[in-house]
Amino acid sequence: MTEDPWAEFVDQRGHRFMLDTSLEVVVDGEVGYIEGNAHTFPGRMHIYLPGRGYDVTRSLCEIDSMSDASRWWIKGFLAGCEPDISAYLGIDLIEDDSAEATAEEYERWQAFNARCRDTGCWPQLNKRPRTPLIITPEEKADLRVEGELRPWAMVGERVWVPAGATWVEAAPQPQLVSGFMPGTVCAERREDDVLHLDSGWTICVDCGEVAPPD
């Protein structure tokens, strides 16, 4: 008869709960058990650490080692976190009759999901801009962009730039540094300093990266 893997735990607040101890992992050198989806960012898991009496949030790349049961659980969990092709491209392929994914975009999407399943980390996915950026003179004065403002958006692992009243993929594509425009303050600090515009757009005050309204 197989031993029952479920066991009762008591956290630091005195709450009693059951966990499947076959879902054992080691994080930060401590033994813990997978509780489930952290519901923060795709691929993030809650892991309970009995030695601390509370759970931590981790991705696959932050786990030192794991049981076979945990390995299979995580494989299924990460497969369920994959974005569909519409989310990856930042467009609605069902509602937008003019939108159609190319063979190259499908291959890029599949490679993206494969990489994310390997690490358990999904980069943020953005909507594709469809209309011109709306920014007031007062808002533009708050920017720290050097020289002329050249807004850009990162969508589907491609840089998009304005072209008249619409947006197109930049040609040639710049070689980004960890997702940031090379030679900018953002690339050095690995973070945007975002300004929320009255029009619903957001823009980085240092490099001009934008995201359209939801």
Q: Using CA atoms, how far apart are residues 35 and 17, in angstroms rounded to an integer?
A: 11
Burial of 145 (0-12, 13-18, 19+ CB in 10 A): middle
At residue 148's C-alpha, the angle toward residues 145 and 149, to 5°, is: 60
Q: What is the 8-class DSSP label of residue 62?
A: G
At residue 187's C-alpha, the angle toward residues 171 and 185, to 5°, is: 110
Task: Name, of 68-77, 129-138, 184-193, the range with top average pLDDT.
Answer: 68-77
Q: Which of 29-33, 99-103, 122-126 has the lowest mean pLDDT?
A: 99-103
Q: What is the 8-class DSSP label of residue 27?
A: E
Q: What pLDDT, on the 0 to 100 scale, is given for residue 97?
A: 61
- For the segment 175-199, the average pLDDT, to the nearest whole number, is 91
Q: Which residues contact 103 (CB under 8 A, 6 or more apart)?
A: none
Instruction: Using pLDDT thresholds of 50, 70 and 90, give the confidence band for residue 32.
Output: very high
Q: What pLDDT, on the 0 to 100 scale, is given for residue 95?
A: 62
Q: Using CA atoms, how far apart are residues 48 and 24, in angstroms rounded to an integer?
A: 10
Q: Which residues contact 191 (CB under 8 A, 6 or more apart)?
A: none
> Helix, strand, or coil here: 106?
helix
77 Cα distance to chain centroid: 15
At residue 146's C-alpha, the angle toward residues 145 and 152, to 5°, is: 50
Give this prediction's pTM: 0.84
Share of the chain above pLDDT 90, in %: 81
Q: What pLDDT, on the 0 to 100 scale, is given for residue 199?
A: 95
Question: Which residue is associated with the tokens 């076959």?
Answer: 22
